[in-house]
Amino acid sequence: MYFNYNSSIKINVLKSFFRENSDSLFITSSFCFKNTYLSEKFFKFYNFYNIYSRFSNPTLFLLEKKISFLENFKFCLTLTSGMAAIFSIFINFLYTNQQFFSSLNIFGSTVNFFLNLLFKFKITVLFINLINFNSLKNNILKINLIFFESLSNPNLKLFNLKLLSYLCKKYKIIQFIDNTFTPLILNSYLYDIDFISHSCTKFFDGQGRILGGALLTNNRNLFLNIFNFLKFSGFNLSSFDSWLILKSLENLFVRLKNQIFNSFFLVKLFKYNLFISKIFYSGILNYYQYKIFYFQQIFSNSIISFSIKSNTIEMRRLNSWKIINNSFISNTANLGDLSSIFNNCSVTTHSFLSFIEKSILNIDESLIRLSVGLEDIFDIFYNIIFSFNNI
């Protein structure tokens, strides 16, 4: 698997006269036409050609082909960020006074987008518990779209894709999944999913350098709909940023494999830590969730969330801050980097939620999300253990 993956992802199909080894970078705003006749034909799309970098660039084209190959999808479009990818779906397929379902457990910025921006277009979100399918019965005939994350943030919950795909096809509902947490891991090609989005800022880049997003689909009509929107909206990714992602994709499999190994080893050690009250990790799920994990994912992921023990809520919060502040691990809202990353989701990405809403979502004040990097596993472990001494 490794050699097949590596040989396919490193192939350079855009070699120039100079026979370069690395993928070519086309930093240009537009492309010349051989004559006026061809310019007329190209603008009418009788024959697709590179015209303007806002919607056609060889570097972006190569990146989209490689991402679609990785995720086993036919079509891919790259955008300026993961939130731009989410925005493009909702602004294209939902109209005024329409409703859609969304999982309770999603990224904080996505919740803000649903409540504060889509609300201005009179598009209503109905938050439901996708684990309990009885909640899907209400208003399902009035729904046009269902959105959820393949692995919820930050509690790492899984949802039954087979059943959700069946319901979406039965009632002709668009199924939209944010697959940022599980690149190469989710068996998405086994299910008839309309759209999958990625934040290329996370695992695809893996070094915290750029912002980027990707949309994937197998439906040509859905692809053309988003392409026409991207053509005039200006949400396209820059050629230089796409080239950086291209170079990072060459070692994506190796990075993920080692990050998953480190995270699995850390979870085994965290089980014996007396200061940790609860661990969220896709490899140690209950029986019901484990059956879903077994069929939907190839491996577990490299993200671990855990809560800290204490007598009061305020002490739990302070103890989590002490652990993060006294560790050499970076404290930032990103994830999926080469280096490990700490983040207290309660006071950052989900800080706008009330105490009751956090309790419903099982987001404790001391909940820490750890994105495991490629450092030596014992360096990571001892670094975290020493930070526990400050409690």
Residues 215 and 256 grouped into a single domain: no
Of 217, 249, 281, the last residue of a domain is: 249
Q: Is residue 99 within 8 Å of residue 139, measured between CB atoms? A: yes
Domain boundary among the residues 230, 249, 268 is at 249
- Residues 123 and 78 placed together within one structural domain of the fold: yes
- 46: confidence class by pLDDT, cuts 50, 70, 90: very low
Q: Do 74 and 211 have their domain in common? A: yes
Same structural domain for residues 26 and 136? yes
My answer on whether 359 and 211 are in the same domain is no
End-to-end CA distance of the chain: 45
Locate tokens 């989710």: which residue? Answer: 186
Peptide bond into 183 cis (omega under 30): no
In a domain? residue 243: yes
Q: What is the CATH number of the domain that holds 325?
A: 3.90.1150.10
- pTM here is 0.88
Question: What's the CATH number where 73 sits?
Answer: 3.40.640.10
Instruction: Give the model's confidence band at 76: pLDDT under 50 very low, under 70 low, under 90 confident, else very high.
Output: very high
Residue 13 placed within a domain:
no
Average pLDDT, the chain: 85
Nearest-Å Rg of the Cα atoms of the chain is 22
C-alpha to C-alpha distance for 381 and 262, rounded to whole angstroms: 10
pLDDT tens digits for range 270-308: 888 888 888 888 877 654 577 788 788 888 889 999 988
Q: What burial class does residue 243 get, using C-beta atoms within 10 Å of its C-beta: 0-12 exposed, 13-18 middle, 19+ buried?
A: buried
Element (H, E) at 70: helix 58-71
* Pair 257, 245 in one domain: no
Whether residues 147 and 35 fall in one domain: yes
- Does 272 lie in the same domain as 172? no
Which amino acid, 266?
Answer: L
β-bridge partners, 146: 101, 175
Closest to 151 in 3D by CA, of 293, 345, 337: 293
Question: Averaged over 194-222, what is the pLDDT?
Answer: 93
What six digits make up the tokens of 78?
């790259």
> Can you state the angle between helices 313-325 and 377-388, rounded to 10 degrees?
130
The 3-state DSSP class for residue 371 equals strand
> Would you state the structure tokens that stand for residue 51, as one six-digit string?
């015209």
Q: Same structural domain for residues 360 and 213?
A: no
Q: Domain range for residue 293?
A: 252-388
Sequential DSSP letters for 91-123: HHH--TT-EEEEESS--HHHHHIIIIIGGGGTP
Tokens of 80: 């300026």
228 falls within a domain: yes
Regarding whether 131 and 35 lie in a shared domain, the answer is: yes
Domain membership flag for residue 85: yes
Q: Does pLDDT of 262 surpass 90?
A: yes
How high is the pLDDT of residue 1? 37
Residue 87 lies in a domain: yes
Q: What's the total number of domains in the chain?
A: 2
214 and 278 share one domain: no
331-390 pLDDT tens trace: 988 899 999 999 988 888 888 777 777 877 778 888 899 999 999 998 998 888 888 887
Do residues 197 and 77 make contact, with C-beta atoms less than 8 angstroms apart?
no
Name the domain boundary from 228, 249, 270. Answer: 249
On whether both 187 and 230 belong to a single domain, the answer is: yes
Q: Is the dihedral of CA 91, 92, 97, 98 positive or negative?
A: negative
Tell me whether residue 258 is in a domain. Answer: yes
- Any domain includes 135: yes
All residues at 6 or more sequence positions from 58 whose CB lies less than 8 Å from its CB, including other chains? 14, 24, 26, 50
Query: Is there a domain that residue 362 lies in?
Result: yes
